Structure formats: structure tokens, C-alpha cells
Amino acid sequence: MQKAVLTTLIMICLACYPLIVYVGLTRFNSHILTIVLLFLLGLRLWFSRALFDKMPWLKPATLLAVITILISKTVGSDLGLRLYPVIINVVMLIVFAYSLHKGPSIIETFARITEPALDENGVIYTKKVTLLWCLFFVVNGGIALYTSIFSSLETWAFYNGFVAYLAMGTLFAIEWLVRQRVKRNPGV
């Protein structure tokens, strides 16, 4: 039970990554920020080992983030710290796109948790949703990259720490509404 709570707290902290980076770069020493971020990422790797099969993107995303943070610290630039959201989007895009190519799609895998006997229409629908998420990761990752390179730290933190989550939540909500309609009217 304590491990699950700690894992959840680590995930919440990493979801607040842009806020942590913003506060760390504007109020604290970058050495302290680097140590805090590497510690959080290391804890995520350690406590999330059981999730690696269910969330294959977790390990490479975390390792890429660690490498980027270390390179950033080595060259004395905060760019590497800002690239974490880009890394997450790229890794998620690769995982979702690969699942479309190899099958079953990521969304189909999630759907089969609650509906093991998913029919052919359901499989087609889940492929379309997976493709939609791929498009989301391209757009969101592109904006995250732009804000990382060309925007102020404040704009970067606002987009990656608020707007991106709002967009993701909106996509989840719209997809859920569409899914309810599709379930009620399979021919639509």
C-alpha cells in the first residue's frame, strides 16, 4: 500500500515537472533543481518496475529525461530541462504508432480491459482513437519543442504545465463522449 501511495506521489510530482523547473530555475540553484529532478526520475524508475510491461514508454522516457538533464547540466543550459515534455510526446508517439503497426493498438489494449470481447467495429474505432492520439502527440510535442527553444521560461511552463494538460483532458473528454455515442449507435 505504501509503495502505491509513493508511486502515485512521484507521478504527481513529475506531472508538475514544468512547475518544478520554473520554480527551481527562478528561485533556487540549478544544482539543487538537477538533484531534485534526477532523484524524482530515479524514484519513478525504481518504484515503477512493475508497470514497465503495461507502460512500455515509461522506462525509455525516464532514461532519456535523465540523459537530457545531465547533458543540460554539463553544458550549462536549461534547454535540456525544458525538453522533457518533448521527450514524453516523442516516446508516446513512437509507442502508439508502433502499436498501430504491430497491433493491437494501445487504445484497443486499454479497451479490452473492460470489454474483452471487443467486436470488429470496436477494434476499428480503437485504431482511429490511437491514430488521433498520435496526431495529438505530434502537435503537442511540436508546440512543446517550440516553447522549449523560442519561448520564455514563463511561457514554456504555462504551456507545458497547464495548456498541454488542458488539451489532453479535453481530448479525453471529447473521445469519451464520442465513444458513448458510438456504443449507443454502432452504425454511426
Contact 57, 91 (CB under 8 A): yes
Q: Is 128 exposed, middle or buried (0-12, 13-18, 19+ CB in 10 A)?
A: middle
pLDDT of residue 188: 52
CA-CA distance, 180 to 57, in Å (whole number)?
28
Q: Which long-range contacts (CB under 8 A, 24 or more apart) does 139-142 make?
A: 140/89, 140/164, 140/167, 140/168, 141/85, 141/86, 141/89, 141/90, 141/93
Tell me the per-residue pLDDT of 69-99, one tens digit each, with 9 for 90 and over: 888 888 777 888 888 899 889 988 998 999 9
pTM of the model: 0.82
Contact 68, 80 (CB under 8 A): yes
Q: Is 105 exposed, middle or buried (0-12, 13-18, 19+ CB in 10 A)?
A: buried
Contact 187, 124 (CB under 8 A): no
3-state secondary structure of 93: helix
Domain boundaries, the chain: 2-184
Handedness of CA 46, 47, 50, 55 (dihedral sign): negative
pLDDT of residue 182: 79
Which residue carries 544544482 as its cell? 31
pLDDT of residue 1: 58
**pLDDT tens for the 188 residues of the chain, in order:** 577 777 777 778 778 888 888 888 888 877 788 888 888 888 877 877 776 777 767 777 788 888 888 888 887 778 888 888 998 899 889 989 999 998 888 888 888 888 888 888 888 999 999 999 999 999 999 999 999 999 999 999 999 999 999 999 999 999 989 888 877 776 55
